[in-house]
Amino acid sequence: MNFEIISETEAWDRYDLFSYWSVDYFSFGKNNFLAFDSAVSIVGDWNVSLLCEQHKVAGVIINGDLTVSGHFDMSDSLVLIKGNLKARHVCISEKEACITGNCIVSGLVYGGWKHGIFTVQEEICALFLIYEFDRASFGSIHPDIITIDNDFNSGCKGNYTYFWHELNYVFLPKLHVFASDGSFSGLDLSLMMEVLNHNEPVMNITPRKLRMYQDCFSTDNFDKAYGYLSTLLNPFIELDGFEVSILDVDQTSRLDFKKEGYSLGFISKERGIIALAKRQQDNDQNRKAIEQTFCNLINFIESGRVDNF
């Protein structure tokens, strides 16, 4: 690989670093960087952080496209790609990475356990995009990406295909990681990449299973239930032992379902039914209970017997 080691001051002048990285990462002249002044192509995996450690530099600047046939790991280094990135899998953690073009990944893009800042100025395209980033900014997200909130502490902010609470239901059990108390704690991302490399399935959900849980749910029915509950003087109603109330969070309208003071989950117009249990068997049971209660609510409203509430 043809590169040169340049000072931080020279990197500022040559590549306008302040336009791409946060000022927090600069040492104002103390750091050096590896600079590739043309496109780079790597066969196999590339852990750019190990390269930075070897040459005692803070990061890598590639003035062109980067193609990595395997896993591109930039967990502990600053990375600027002034072009497009193509890779099998991508990991960003702890530091900051910016791609001025497209990020095209055939497998998994994920934030590592130490998070990090990830910017793609154009489109990001992958099979799975797992959010454990401190901050992420994308010009656009390809509509076919499955986006996942894999961080329990994030509060499920944003518009995700699946929330953390749903992962144990959606993904194959062999990818599950459990805490010492037996509760589901996340996905084994290393194993997930290995399985994807062999073109094996990682999800156990099927359209038929989704329909089984969401036959009663539709955006029209959600509007019908939400509109009715909005007219009630009480903050909730009780139906078949369940407490149903409106709970709007982060400008997202949703219906909350509780039993004996314990929240089973909720329904949102955008996401459908979300169960909140950690254990898979409890998650499935809660999801069914939420759907059944929602269907009963719709049936009562449509039958004109809403006064019975």
Rounded CA gap, 47 and 35, in Å?
16
Instruction: Return the pLDDT at 208.
Output: 47
Res. 222: pLDDT tops 90: no
CA distance 145 to 103: 12
pLDDT at 280: 64
Torsion angle in degrees (nearest 10) through CA of 113, 115, 121, 124: 20
- CB 156 within 8 Å of CB 163: yes
Strands 184-187 and 117-125, by their bridges, are unpaired
Specify the pLDDT at position 153: 47
pLDDT tens digit string along 55-75?
Answer: 999 899 999 999 999 999 998
Which position has the higher pLDDT, 137 or 169?
Answer: 137
Q: Of 168-177, 182-191, 193-202, 261-270, which one has max mean pLDDT? A: 193-202
Q: For residues 124 and 126, what is the distance between their CA atoms, to the nearest angstrom?
A: 7
**What distance in Å separates the CA atoms of residue 1 and residue 115, rounded to the nearest whole number?**
28
pLDDT bracket for residue 149 (50, 70, 90): confident
One-letter amino acid at 248 equals D
pTM reported for the whole predicted model: 0.69
Residues in the chain: 309
According to DSSP H, which parts of 73-164 are helical? none
- Nearest alpha-carbon partner for 297 in 219, 240, 215: 240
3-state secondary structure of 123: strand
Mean of pLDDT values over 218-233: 86
More confident residue, 164 or 294: 294
Two structure tokens written together for 179:
């805490």
* CA pair distance 73, 99, nearest whole angstrom: 14
> For 163-188, how does the pLDDT look when each residue is reduced to its tens digit (9 = 90+)?
776 677 788 889 988 877 777 778 89
pLDDT top residue among 193 and 134: 193
